[in-house]
């Protein structure tokens, strides 16, 4: 009987504390023969991993090709390690370092391998070649592929492996025999692999047939679905090919791994984890891109090892970078799933198992560089939004009468830079209106560059605590946000260019939750510069924190991000338990929000109809005209606002020089329903409804016709900042609109995005 078969049942009988003290061999070969330490033994295992394996800790293997042959390898290795630790796992990067097969490679060693420039891809067939060369004195680095990683992980005794995507049977593989070594490895090496299927341009049905022949279990995580579950298509959640079997939880996956071991079945297991829904590319879209890329590759003669790189490059171009974003997201999702499976496996073997305190408290990735924690992290208002360097280019015509800059040529201009960004502008306006720096805090992202340092210094000079502004250390991927505005001779905006890619960073939900728990805000302002995923995460965290949530749409395109989906259903809840409390769009952003909500089915739910039907508002056009204007009614603005109110109970639509239109859903006890002076502003009343009272709609004319405009940039941000400041101090929205407009007027007369003359605290 082999050593491995003897030790497995013995480990289940010996208490974990005693197992920890046992001097178990560092690793066991597939034949059960012990491998002692040192290069001569053929395998080096780091001290941490060696101890973790002996203690049956939740170790997760990581391949190294993703780092040695990827554009972000230097920072990605550290990021992935920290991600796994944050979920209770112990990461074990596997690679060939100087000709030595190594389990537990450090991120710094990965950096050294990349900088050496001689790392090669290592499959099973290549392991002996590189190790042999090392023995002969020629030391070569190697990044292990899935098959190479599985082989070395099994030799070390690691049971779970998280990666991105599997190799497979190439198109036409039945003739060319172009079949990935990953598939045969899964047929003979007992390691559980968590991946998002195989690359979508491969022959997925034949890949699954091949794996069946190899005796490899293939099971796809249901991920909330109950029927018609496909094997994932890597970038797409579905592939059109049904999965051989379904797994619902990480504990079920762990049970399969344990049963495979106890039965001493040596083939591997593949757990397919679909790409997160918010990052998945619709199957028809990715199929069309794949067909075009594959056809071009054939026509241009990109075959063999050159085929995959070409196809991947074209998919990046054809999908507008969606494939790259999906790829990054699915790897993280798979590593989290693998860590959870490894933890559940440890719990199955020992029900008392809990991840150590150091594992539970490990930071999520990427690692932000925070300023020192302030003595008072609490706040009344937390603005989670963009901070950026603003470049304002004001056209200075050479002759009177000229107002517009000329296209396709250089124009004279007065150019100045300042610190801006929607979130920053809102926070500064709220801070100055509040008159107390501890009341307002900003949560944002900067890069590890010169502009990032400039922003930190500026925040401190403005009195904003930078404690919640995180610095991302990956300088190859992230740049501090910049906004360039080109204004004509009248200081009206002609064109703007914004580099806000840093806010597409996939923020860690646990980190955001900790930020909210630390700051404990009454009001949370979220701006549309965040990705749709981050907006959903922030709204969910804010709802859990029981704070009122405000959305600033930012732009027409970004305004649509609020109306995301979760498992195909609307992500927002309706009044009176609505996820949102207030939004401040302009008319263009309002129309975009309305259309997005309509297209995504927000107006088709029973909950939405339950609110709208409470008012019986058929034939309300003349009332809209009376309460607003015929022009606004013809533009559909009042109707759009009413349709959105169930999801955003208060909407303040900015009308530029025509003022602001406010609409609010009122509860049945709201005093405005019965006040004589408010009667003209009650658009509709609900009859005998337990939670809905009526709709308040009021048109506020502009407080001043501003002729001496210095800059329009940031006026809307100032409006919202002053408005939220008043709300946080206990005022109602209808009492704050004119005060907020006055703040916007000050901003119009300031060269900055926020007026420095708005520093007097609001009262009441």
Angle subtended at Cα 47 by Cα 43 and Cα 48, rounded to the nearest 5 degrees: 115
Contact 333, 288 (CB under 8 A): no
Q: Is 63 a catalytic residue?
A: yes
DSSP string over 427-472? HHHHHHHHT-GGGEEEEEEEESSHHHHHHHHHHHHHT--GGGEEEE
Measured CA to CA in angstroms, residue 419 lies from 391, 404, 527, 615, 752 at distances of 9, 26, 17, 46, 9
Of the residues 81, 82, 199, 332, which is catalytic?
199
* Residue 273, C-beta contacts closer than 8 angstroms, at least 6 positions apart: 194, 195, 196, 220, 221, 223, 232, 330, 333, 334, 337
Contact 580, 564 (CB under 8 A): no
Smallest CA-to-CA distance from 499 within 482, 479, 478, 474 is with 482
Compute the residue count for the chain.
764
Looking at 435-563, list the stretches that DSSP marks H as alpha helix, in order from N- to C-terminal side.
Answer: 450-462, 509-519, 532-544, 556-559
Q: Is 199 a catalytic residue?
A: yes
Instruction: Quickly count: other Cβ atoms within 10 Å of residue 643's Cβ.
Output: 18
Give the C-alpha separation, 507 to 475, whole Å. 17
- Strands 482-487, 493-499: pairing is antiparallel
* Residue 674, C-beta contacts closer than 8 angstroms, at least 6 positions apart: none
Strand stretches in 563-712, DSSP E: 565-566, 569-570, 582-583, 650-654, 660-666, 682-685, 694-700
Of the residues 63, 79, 278, 752, which is catalytic?
63
Smallest CA-to-CA distance from 141 within 169, 186, 203, 99 is with 99
* Residue 688, C-beta contacts closer than 8 angstroms, at least 6 positions apart: none
Sign of the torsion angle spanned by Cα atoms 239, 245, 249, 252: negative
Q: Residues with catalytic annotation?
A: 63, 199
């Amino acid at each position: 009987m082999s050593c491995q078969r003897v030790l497995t049942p013995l480990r289940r009988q010996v208490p974990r504390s005693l197992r920890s003290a046992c001097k178990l061999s560092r690793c066991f070969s597939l034949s059960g023969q012990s491998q002692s330490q040192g290069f001569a033994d053929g395998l080096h295992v780091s001290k941490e991993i060696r101890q973790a394996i002996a203690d049956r800790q939740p170790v997760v293997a990581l391949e190294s090709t993703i780092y040695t042959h990827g554009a972000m390898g230097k920072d990605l290795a550290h990021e992935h390690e920290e991600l796994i630790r944050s979920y209770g796992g112990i990461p074990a990067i596997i690679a060939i370092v100087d000709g030595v097969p190594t389990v537990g490679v450090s991120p710094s060693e990965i950096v050294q391998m990349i900088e050496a420039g001689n790392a090669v891809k290592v499959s099973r067939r290549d392991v002996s070649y590189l190790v042999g060369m090392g023995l002969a004195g020629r030391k070569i680095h190697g990044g292990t592929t899935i098959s190479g990683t599985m082989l070395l992980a099994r030799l070390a005794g690691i049971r779970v492996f998280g990666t991105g995507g599997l190799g497979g049977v190439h198109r036409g593989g039945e003739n060319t025999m172009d079949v990935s070594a990953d598939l045969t490895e899964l047929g003979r090496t007992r390691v559980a692999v968590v991946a998002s299927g195989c690359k979508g341009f491969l022959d997925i049905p034949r890949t699954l047939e091949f794996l069946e022949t190899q005796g490899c279990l293939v099971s796809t995580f249901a991920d909330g679905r109950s029927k018609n579950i496909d094997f994932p298509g890597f970038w797409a959640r579905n592939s059109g090919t049904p999965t051989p079997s379904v797994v619902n939880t990480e504990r079920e996956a762990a049970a399969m791994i344990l049963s495979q071991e106890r039965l001493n079945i040596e083939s591997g297991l593949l757990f397919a984890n679909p790409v997160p829904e918010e990052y998945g590319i619709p199957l028809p879209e990715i199929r069309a891109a794949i067909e075009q890329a594959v056809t071009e590759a054939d026509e241009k003669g990109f075959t063999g090892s050159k085929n995959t790189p070409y196809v991947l490059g074209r998919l990046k171009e054809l999908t507008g970078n969606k494939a790259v974003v999906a790829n990054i997201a699915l790897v993280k999702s798979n590593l989290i799933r693998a860590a959870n499976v490894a933890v559940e496996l440890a719990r199955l073997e020992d029900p008392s198992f809990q991840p150590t305190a150091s594992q539970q408290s490990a930071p999520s990735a990427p690692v932000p560089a925070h300023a020192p924690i302030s003595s008072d992290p609490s706040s009344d208002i937390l603005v989670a939004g963009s901070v950026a360097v603003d470049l304002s280019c004001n056209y200075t015509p050479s002759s009177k009468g000229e107002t517009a800059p000329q296209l396709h040529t250089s124009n004279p201009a007065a150019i100045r830079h300042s610190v801006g960004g929607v979130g920053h502008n809102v926070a500064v306006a709220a801070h100055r209106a509040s008159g107390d720096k501890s009341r307002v805090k900003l949560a944002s992202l900067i890069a590890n560059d010169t502009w990032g340092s400039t922003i930190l210094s500026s925040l401190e000079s403005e009195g904003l605590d930078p404690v919640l502004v995180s610095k991302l250390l990956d300088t190859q991927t992230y740049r501090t946000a910049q906004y360039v505005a080109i204004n004509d001779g009248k200081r009206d905006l002609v064109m703007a260019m914004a580099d806000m890619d840093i806010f597409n960073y996939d923020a860690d939900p646990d980190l955001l939750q900790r930020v909210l728990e630390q700051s404990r805000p009454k009001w949370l302002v979220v701006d549309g510069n965040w990705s749709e995923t981050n907006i959903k995460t922030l709204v969910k965290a804010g709802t859990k924190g029981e704070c009122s949530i405000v959305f600033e749409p930012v732009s027409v395109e970004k305004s649509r991000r609020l109306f995301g989906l979760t498992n195909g259903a609307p992500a927002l809840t309706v009044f009176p338990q609505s996820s949102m409390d207030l939004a401040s769009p302009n008319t263009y952003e309002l129309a975009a929000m309305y259309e997005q909500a309509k297209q995504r089915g927000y107006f088709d739910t029973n909950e939405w109809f339950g609110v709208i039907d409470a008012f019986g508002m058929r034939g309300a056009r003349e009332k809209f005209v009376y309460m607003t204007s015929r022009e606004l009614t013809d533009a559909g603005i009042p109707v759009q606002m009413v349709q959105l109110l169930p999801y955003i109970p208060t909407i303040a639509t900015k009308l530029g020089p025509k003022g602001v239109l406010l609409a609010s859903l009122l509860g049945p006890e709201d005093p405005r329903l019965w006040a004589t002076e408010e009667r003209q502003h009650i658009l509709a009343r609900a009859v005998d409804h337990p939670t809905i009272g009526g709709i308040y709609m009021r048109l506020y004319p502009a407080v001043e016709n501003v002729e001496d405009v210095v800059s329009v940039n940031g006026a809307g941000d100032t409006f919202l900042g002053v408005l939220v400041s008043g709300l946080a101090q206990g005022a109602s929205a209808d009492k704050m609109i004119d005060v907020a407009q006055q703040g916007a007027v000050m901003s119009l007369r300031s060269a900055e995005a926020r007026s420095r003359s708005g520093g007097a605290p609001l009262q009441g």
